[in-house]
Amino acid sequence: MIELSDAGLKFIEGWEGYEKKLPDGRCRSYRDKINGKLDIWTCGYGCTEGVTGDTVWTQEEADAAFRRELRKHIDAVARMVTVEINQNEADALISMSYNIGSGGLSKSTVIRKLNAGDRQGAATAMLAWNKFGGKPVKGLTARRHAEAALFLTPVEGEPDDQMPQTVTQPPAVSTGATVTAATVGTTSIAALASAPPDISAISSWQSAVETLMNAATFFASKPMAIAGVLVCIGGLYLWHKAQET
């Protein structure tokens, strides 16, 4: 049975934020303009159902609306996924459904690859859903990377070798997705997004290997150079022995 964990709830809350907060603690509806296009009316934690330009909620009303909408996405993910998934995979998929809509997710390459047993492919496919108005959005890109990273994180007690651990950035693909609700999300959870690996150590080893290979190639083509080096080494050795005596 697929459910949202407490950690998954906080993950989604962090991305959506409590918008637009008023001085008295209530929140009012708003519409973001992204890439020159207006998003739909949104209130509280990215809620859109029944929201108009005049919507104002208390904190309690916003919390209740958030959980009502979450319930629909939890149930939708449970219907569209036909394979067994772990809690991190469920939380990531519910977060994505809440952000892009269950209709879009159900028809996506993400679900198709997951149900075919290709979890790595499903995680990679998540990254393509980063556009609004046909153009990539930084906040959406960060959120998709965070969701993909969560999706690929094994749960406690699960063998690491059963789960892929990296996400390869796919080529730019027009998904036709309609991203709704609090699409951008501006919280510290963006730090969960996948970061490029530190390749400085790898580069150092590659440089050393290249240097050795270049030296080997040079000496192989210059036998007299090898003889000269050997003579020098022999001379240094004899000089060192003479100093000892």
Residue 176 pLDDT:
36
Reduced DSSP (H G I as helix, E B as strand, rest coil) percent helix, strand, coil of the chain, to 5 = 55, 10, 40
Concatenating the DSSP letter of every residue in 140-158 gives HHHHHHHHHHHHTSPPTTS
What does the block give as tokens for 55? 């919507």
Amino acid at 21: K
CA distance 81 to 90: 9
3, 13, 16, 84: the catalytic one is 16
**Interatomic CA distance for residues 242 and 239, integer angstroms:** 5
CA-to-CA distance for 2 and 241, rounded, in angstroms? Answer: 78
3-state SS class at 176:
coil
Cα-based torsion angle of the residue sequence 24, 25, 26, 32 in order, rounded to the nearest 10 degrees: 110
Q: For position 218, what pLDDT does the model report?
A: 46
pLDDT at 244: 56
Q: Is 16 a catalytic residue?
A: yes
Top CATH class, 6-192: mainly alpha
Tens of pLDDT along the chain (245 residues)? 899 999 999 999 999 999 999 999 999 999 988 888 888 999 999 999 999 999 999 999 999 999 999 999 999 999 999 999 999 999 999 999 999 999 999 999 999 999 999 999 999 999 999 998 889 999 999 999 999 999 999 998 765 544 445 554 444 333 333 344 333 343 333 333 333 333 233 333 334 434 444 444 444 455 555 555 555 565 555 555 555 55
Which letter does DSSP use for residue 10 in this model? H
- Long-range CB pairs of 50-54 (<8 Å, 24+ gap) are 53/29, 54/29
pTM, full prediction: 0.66
For the chain, the structural domain boundaries read 6-192, 200-244
Residue 226, C-beta contacts closer than 8 angstroms, at least 6 positions apart: 219
